[in-house]
Structure 1
Amino acid sequence: MEAQRFDMIVIGAGPGGYVAAIRGAQLGLKVAVVEREHLGGICLNWGCIPTKAMLRSAEILHYMHRAAEYGLKADGIGYDLDAVVKRSRGVAKQLNSGVGHLLKKNKVTVLMGQATLPAPGRVSVTTDKGEQTLEAPAIVLATGARARELPGLEADGDLVWTYKHALTPPRMPKKLLVIGSGAIGIEFASFYNTLGADVTVVEVMDRILPVEDAEISAFAKKAFEKQGMTIREQAMVKQLERGKGSVTAHIEQGGKTAKDTFDTVISAVGIVGNVEGLGLEALGVRIDRSHVVTDPLGRTGVEGLYAIGDVAGAPWLAHKASHEGVMVAELVAGGHPHAVDPKSIAGCTYCHPQVASVGLTEAQAIEQGYEIRVGRFPFIGNGKAIALGEQEGLVKTVFDAKTGALLGAHMVGAEVTELIQGYVVARQLETTEEDLMQTVFPHPTLSEMMHESVLDAWGRAIHF
C-alpha cells in the first residue's frame, strides 16, 4: 500500500500536538495527527481540566460550610461523589469533542492508532483497520508523559491509586496517604481533604510544593495544616503492606521508620516521558532520563524530527506544550519563531489556597548572583480580599535591585492562578519596577496587591 504524504505529521494529540497540528494547517501545511487514545491528551481527559472541575465542586462545598460567615443559611450540606465525578467527566468529554471539531475544521487528518517511526520521515500507524504508512519531511513528537511508578508503590486501582483512579474513585477515602506534594499530589490532597478525608501528605524534599518559593510553600503548609491535613516533609514511603481493605505504610523520617495504616494511597511522585516503542533509538534520537533531548526550538538533532511538551522535558505544563507546538509549526512552515523561555512560564496549583508563580524564586535569584529587592503584600491589606472573606494570602515579587527587572513573582491565596498572568505579561514585555509602579490597577480588585507588592520592594507600599 502506497504511503500517504503530508508536510507535517504530529504524533500525539494532547495540548502540544493538537495545537501544533492546527497552527501548521493555518500556515498552509498538509497535516496529519496520530493519537492512540484520546484527542486532547492527558491534560484534557485525565489531567488539568477534569481535576479543575472536581476542585471547583470542592471549593463550592467549602463555601457552603462557611455560609454563616456570609450571613447565609445552608442546611443539610453534603455531596454525592458519583455526581461530582460525573460532572468532571462531562466537562472532559465536552472539550474532547471540541478538539475533534477544531481539527476537522482545520482539515487536519486524524488517525487513531499506535505510531512507530521505522525510518526518517516515515510513520507507521497501527489502527483497528490495520497498518498505514505516512510520510512527511517534518515529524513532531508530542507523545507526552505518564505517572512515574516506584517499585513496591505501584498502583492497583483498589488500595493504591494514580491520578486516573483518583479522578474516578471507586469509593470515598476515609484515611488517605498522598505520596508526593507537587501540583498533582497537593490538588488531590486538597480535594479529598475538603470532602472530609483524613489526609496525610509525604514529601521527600525539605518542603511541600518544592518548586515554589520557600516562603510560599511555608504559607501553604500552614493553611493546609489548619484545614486538618498532616504534612510530613523530608520523609519517604519505604514500603506499602497491602492487606484486605487497608495499606500499612512504612514512612521513614529523621532516621526513624514508623508505620501508619490507610484505606487509600495516591501516588504522585512525578512523571516519565512516553519514549518507548516508537523506534527513536534506532533513528539516533538522544534520550535523557526518559525525555527526548532537544534544542530550544524543539529540534532533536535528527533531520526533520522535533519534540515538544512533556516528552521533551520540564516544565511539564500544558501551556508550555501548546506554545512549543505553535513554535515548531511556524519553524516547519519556514518562519523564524522565538524559542520558549521556561523562566517566563507560569506554574499554577489549584489547591485551596491556590498557588501561582513565574520566574525565579528569591533563593534562585540570590544563587544566580543578583542583588535583589523583595516586595510582599498580604491579602489582609486588600479591601476586595476582605469583602470576599479571603484574607489569607500573600503576593511576593523579586526584582533585580540594579536594573529594576522583575525576576520572579510568587503568590498564594484566592484566585492567584488568574492574577499571575499580569506578571507573566510584565516579564514578557521586560517591564521594570517603574513601569509597574506607574500602572493604574482597578479598585477594588485583588490585582491591587500586585501593585502594592511592587511598591513594597522599594519601601513605598501604601496600604500596609
Structure 2
Amino acid sequence: MAQSYDMIVIGAGPGGYVAAIRGAQLGLNVLCVEREHLGGICLNWGCIPTKALLRSSEVFHLMHRAKEFGLKADGVGYDLPSVVQRSRGVAKQMEGGVKHLLKKNKVTTMMGEARLAGKGKVIVKIDKGEEEVTSKAIVLATGARARELPGLEADGDLVWTYKTAMTPPRMPKKLLVIGSGAIGIEFASFYNTLGAETTVVEVMDRILPVEDAEISAFAKKQFTKQGMKIMEKAMVKKLDRAKGKVTAHIEVGGKVEQQEFDTVISAVGIVGNVEGLGLEEQGIKVDRTHVIVDEYCRTGVDGVYAIGDLAGAPWLAHKASHEGVMVAELVAGKNKVHPVRPESIAGCTYCHPQVASVGFTEAQAKEKGFDVKVGKFPFIGNGKAVALGEPDGMVKTIFDSKTGELLGAHMVGAEVTELIQGYVVGRQLETTEEDLMETVFPHPTLSEMMHESVLDAYGRAIHF
C-alpha cells in the first residue's frame, strides 16, 4: 500500500527544503524527495560555493593593496586547488546543515527521481526500484540548470558551465565569458582578479542588463579599470575548438571578428527542470521550460504547486524560499497568506564592486507613468567607505513625487548586497521618503549613504 503524506515536495533546493520544513512546523506530515543533493544547486553548485570563491579572490585583491593600509605582504600568491577545496568544504558543511534541519523538523526525506502519476500520486525511482507515495498537496521545486546554445555547448575542457568553473581543471590564462548576468559577471570578476585576461560578451546594449542603466555604466567603468574587456551589443556566433584553444567568432557592429581563448565560460541563462516529471500528462502547462503558475504558485491542477526557478523569474533562491513558505501555509490552511511580490525582491550580484537593487529602475518607473524624484550619493562622500579604502560606488533611490513611495533602490560598491535589505524592509512596510529622512542612521557606517541618497532626491543632501 502506498504511503500517504499531507504534503510531498519534489526537490530539496532553497524552495523545496524550506517548504518542507515550514509544512512540518505547521503540523503536516511531509515527504521531501531529492534526486541529487540536499540544498539543491544553490547550496551545492551556486549561491554558497561561488561566494566562497569570490571571498578568496577578494582577500587576494586586498593583499595586493596591503601597502595602502600601511601593511606589508610579500610574495602574495594563491593555490587554486586549495581555493576550490575551501569552496567545496563550505558547500558540504551547508548540505549537512540542511540534512540536520530536515531531520530536526521530522521531515521524511527520500533520495530518488520523482514523477507525477495521476491525481495525488507520485512515483519515486530509488535504488531498489520504484515506490508510490500519495498526497493531496504536491509541491514541484525541481529548479533549473544552465542553458546551452547550439554550437556553444560546454565540454568540461575548453568550454565550461558554472559547475566546471567552480571546480576548474586549470587556471584560465585568456578567458571568454559569454553573458553578463549575475553568474557570468561573478565568474568574470573571480578569474579576472586571479589574473586571467578576461573578456565579457553581452548581447544586450549594456552589461548587467536587468540593473538600472547608471549602475550598469558605473560597474562597467570599474570592471574596465580592473582590466576586463567588455563587449556590448555583441554575440558569439560559433566556437572553433582545437587542442588547448578556442577561436570565438564574435559579431559586433555588423562585423564578425575572431578572437582566440584558452577557456570559455557560458552563462547565457537557465532552463527549468521540467523533463520526466509527467507534467503534460497531468495537464500542467509549461511555457519555455517554466511551469505556469498564479500568484499563489498554483499550477491550475488541483493540489499541485510549483515554486522557485521552475516557476519562472526572478530566478533567486530567496524568492524560492518565500514561495515555499507561502505554499506550505496555504496547504496547512493558514489564514492571511500573502503572495510574493517580484518587484519587492532584491537582486544581488557579488562581483567587485558588488551590485544590488530592489524595485523599479528609473526607466521602468517612468515607463509606468510615475513622476519620479531621483536621489544619488557617491561612496567618496562617506567617511566609512573612505576609511575602508572603498571610495568607488554609489547609491541611487527613486521615489514617486506625488506620494513619496520608494519605487526603487540601486547600489554599486562595497557591501551593497548587505545594505540593500534596508530598502527592502522599507518597501515592505510601505515607507515614504519622510519616514526614511526622519530615520537616524548610525555613524560612521556605509548605511548613511542610503539616508543621504533619500535626502538628495528632495534637495536636502548634507554631505555632497
TM range (shorter): over 0.9
Superposition pairs for residues 198-213 of structure 1, below 5 Å? 198-213=197-212
- Residue 241 of structure 1 deviates from its aligned partner by 0.1
- Residue 168 of structure 1 deviates from its aligned partner by 0.1
- Residue 120 of structure 1 deviates from its aligned partner by 1.5
Tell me the amino acid that sits aligned with residue 370 of structure 1.
F
Superposition pairs for residues 86-105 of structure 1, below 5 Å? 86-105=85-104
Counterpart Cα distance in 2 of 1:262 and 1:254? 21
Counterpart Cα distance in 2 of 1:35 and 1:151? 30
Residue 446 of structure 2: aligned partner: 446
Counterpart Cα distance in 2 of 1:174 and 1:319? 34
Structure 1 gaps of 5+ residues are none
TM-score (norm 2): 1.00
Residue 431 of structure 1: aligned partner: 431
- Residue 127 of structure 1 deviates from its aligned partner by 0.6
Q: Does the residue aligned with 1:184 lie in a helix, a strand or coil? A: helix
Residue 395 of structure 1: aligned partner: 395
Residue 105 of structure 2: aligned partner: 106
Superposition pairs for residues 231-246 of structure 1, below 5 Å? 231-246=230-245
Determine whether 1:73 maps to 2:72: yes
Residue 32 of structure 1: aligned partner: 31
Determine whether 1:46 maps to 2:45: yes
Residue 404 of structure 2: aligned partner: 404
Counterpart Cα distance in 1 of 2:375 and 2:226? 28
Residue 365 of structure 1: aligned partner: 365
Residue 19 of structure 2: aligned partner: 20
- Residue 335 of structure 1 deviates from its aligned partner by 1.3
Counterpart Cα distance in 1 of 2:356 and 2:451? 16
Counterpart Cα distance in 2 of 1:402 and 1:208? 32
Superposition pairs for residues 216-227 of structure 1, below 5 Å? 216-227=215-226
Q: Does the residue aligned with 1:119 lie in a helix, a strand or coil? A: coil
How many residues are matched? 463
Q: Does the residue aligned with 2:268 lie in a helix, a strand or coil? A: coil
Counterpart Cα distance in 1 of 2:227 and 2:325? 43
Determine whether 1:116 maps to 2:115: yes
Q: Does the residue aligned with 1:231 lie in a helix, a strand or coil? A: strand
Tell me the amino acid that sits aligned with residue 54 of structure 1.
L
Counterpart Cα distance in 1 of 2:351 and 2:423? 20
Deviation by residue 1:151-191 (Cα, 9 ceiling, x = unmatched)? 00000000000000000000000000000000000000000
Tell me the amino acid that sits aligned with residue 414 of structure 2.
A
Tell me the amino acid that sits aligned with residue 86 of structure 2.
R
- Residue 374 of structure 1 deviates from its aligned partner by 0.1
Counterpart Cα distance in 1 of 2:110 and 2:234? 45
How large is the Cα RMSD of the aligned pairs?
A: 0.4
- Residue 129 of structure 1 deviates from its aligned partner by 1.7
- Residue 256 of structure 1 deviates from its aligned partner by 0.4
Residue 345 of structure 1: aligned partner: 345
- Residue 130 of structure 1 deviates from its aligned partner by 1.3
Residue 253 of structure 1: aligned partner: 252
Counterpart Cα distance in 2 of 1:362 and 1:169? 39
Tell me the amino acid that sits aligned with residue 293 of structure 1.
I
Superposition pairs for residues 262-411 of structure 1, below 5 Å? 262-336=261-335, 337-411=337-411
Over 4 Å off, 4+ runs:
none
Counterpart Cα distance in 2 of 1:192 and 1:128? 39
Residue 62 of structure 1: aligned partner: 61
Structure 2 gaps of 5+ residues are none
* Identical positions, percent: 79
Superposition pairs for residues 166-177 of structure 1, below 5 Å? 166-177=165-176
Deviation by residue 1:128-157 (Cα, 9 ceiling, x = unmatched)? 121111000000000000000000000000
Counterpart Cα distance in 2 of 1:175 and 1:152? 20
Tell me the amino acid that sits aligned with residue 254 of structure 1.
G
Q: Does the residue aligned with 2:117 lie in a helix, a strand or coil? A: strand
Deviation by residue 1:255-282 (Cα, 9 ceiling, x = unmatched)? 0000000000000000000011110001
Counterpart Cα distance in 2 of 1:286 and 1:41? 24
Residue 5 of structure 1: aligned partner: 4
Counterpart Cα distance in 1 of 2:341 and 2:11? 23
- Residue 118 of structure 1 deviates from its aligned partner by 1.1
Deviation by residue 1:29-68 (Cα, 9 ceiling, x = unmatched)? 0000000000000000000000000000000000000000
